[in-house]
Structure 1
Amino acid sequence: MVSKIELYEKESQEFKPFKHFISRIQVMRKESSYGAEVASKWANILNQTLEDETYPVIHPIGQETFSLYAEITTGVFEYTLDIDGATTFIKEKNIKPIKTSPSNIIEAVDQGNINKDPNRIKPNHKNPVMVLQSRYLTNNKPYCINGNHRIFEAYRNNDEQIEVYVFKDLEFVPFFYDVLSKATYFLEIDYHNVVNDKRYLLHNENGAYANEFK
């Protein structure tokens, strides 16, 4: 299996987030009266809150982060996730892992990007196995953001169970390392709600995740 990571890394460097925001805003504005209202909110966020944000984000030295690359209409965007922060969040909220067969979760592993040479493996188990699942980031498929090798080894060794922390849709929003990642994720939710005339993850017909962005 060939990984796209190297290609994504290169393409994401060329991504223009503000161009993407403007493109989404223009489409929403023309879609409906609801879309125009949501577009106006995002235009304000873009001009008032995001104008000083830099992309791509600089990953901090000594802190474990993860890049999740998403293919969207204008290119490949790098979402950055704070793995150390996610571990702290798990402990503070006393979140419990699920126990599952490795065969049930192996699809979350990008096997084309995993080191299978035992002489080059450097175990780092300070953070637990974490998997995300989102229709906006992972096409509603599980995707491992930490612990790929542990899942792979458990699967290869035919282990009966492995403990995995699974986070869906809004559950992993606190893990975003930078402001632009969170803003882009919320924008994508609003955009798809507008163009599909849905209110997925919203409890209010006139609501929007632009209202939730802080």
Structure 2
Amino acid sequence: MKSKIEQYEKEYRAFNPFNHFKLRIKDMENKSDYGAEVAMKWSEVVSQNLMNETYPAVHPIGQETFSLFAEFSTGIFEYALDIDGATSLIKDRNIKPVTFSPSNIFKSVDQGNINKDPNRIKPNHKNPVMVIKSKYLTDDRKYCINGNHRILKAYRKNDEQIKVFVFNDLEFIPFFYDVISKAMYFLEIDYDNVMNGKRNFISNEKNVFVYD
């Protein structure tokens, strides 16, 4: 499958997150009584907590972050992930990696994130190889957010194994660099639950992620 990274990098800055929130809120409001309750709370959150937030996030010089793009009907959105912060979390919580055969984890590498010019590759191994798997961000597929070149190198060398830190839905919430990214993630969970009659990742019928 051809990578869309180049296209996304040209389009994501034009995304209007507040228009996206508005349309999602309207859809939920019209779906059901439960949806109307969720929509009302999201309206409050947007007006009281998000209006002063900027998009897209500013990636600071000297700090390693990663842009994970999402394709919506309203445009291309950038989820900003803090890779340095993720590494600190791994150390603080003593999280253990998973051992993979490179051939089994290679599909997590988006070819659009591979620098094809060897003269421009600057090895940076201070942060480990990380992969996320999310229903809402990666279509339930493993997606490498750090260490693409190391996976590719291990694959090409036919190495027997490579250690990868894998994070599933909810586990990577601390990685979000900015408030808008975190809010968008929670919005999409609530939206999916409302529109499809689900209660994914919530403990009872009344709970919603907007309260976080």
Aligned equivalents of 1:16 and 1:116: distance in 2? 32
* Matched residue, 1:203: 203
Q: Secondary structure at the match of 1:77?
A: strand
Aligned equivalents of 1:196 and 1:102: distance in 2? 36
- In the alignment, does 2:176 pair up with 1:171? no
Cα offset, 1:72, TM superposition: 1.4
Aligned equivalents of 2:168 and 2:10: distance in 1? 27
Q: Secondary structure at the match of 1:49?
A: helix
Aligned equivalents of 1:73 and 1:19: distance in 2? 11
Task: Show structure 1 runs of 5+ residues with no match.
Answer: none
Q: Secondary structure at the match of 1:138?
A: coil
Structure 1 moving runs of 4+ over 4 Å: none
- In the alignment, does 2:118 pair up with 1:109? no
Aligned equivalents of 1:28 and 1:158: distance in 2? 49
Q: Which letter does structure 1 place at the counterpart of 2:196?
A: N
- Residues 81-133 of structure 1 deviation map (CA, whole Å, 9 limit, x = unaligned): 00000000000000000011011110100124312443332110000000011
* Matched residue, 1:132: 132
Aligned equivalents of 2:192 and 2:65: distance in 1? 27
Q: Which letter does structure 1 place at the counterpart of 2:55?
A: Y
> TM-score, normalised on structure 2?
0.97
Task: Show structure 2 runs of 5+ residues with no match.
Answer: none
> TM-score, normalised on structure 1?
0.96
Q: Which letter does structure 2 place at the counterpart of 1:182?
A: K
Aligned equivalents of 1:182 and 1:35: distance in 2? 20
The 5 Å alignment of 1:46-85 reads: 46-85=46-85
- Residues 49-74 of structure 1 deviation map (CA, whole Å, 9 limit, x = unaligned): 00100111111111000000001121
- Residues 143-162 of structure 1 deviation map (CA, whole Å, 9 limit, x = unaligned): 00000000011011110000
**For structure 1, which segment, 9-18 or 109-118, has the greater mean C-alpha deviation from structure 2 after superposition?**
109-118
Aligned equivalents of 1:82 and 1:149: distance in 2? 19
Aligned equivalents of 1:180 and 1:199: distance in 2? 23
The 5 Å alignment of 1:87-98 reads: 87-98=87-98
Q: Secondary structure at the match of 1:80?
A: strand
Aligned equivalents of 1:121 and 1:134: distance in 2? 28
Aligned equivalents of 1:112 and 1:182: distance in 2? 24
**How many pairs does the alignment contain?**
212
Q: Which letter does structure 2 place at the counterpart of 1:98?
A: V
Q: Is the 8 A contact 1:2 1:113 kept in 2?
A: no
* Matched residue, 1:18: 18
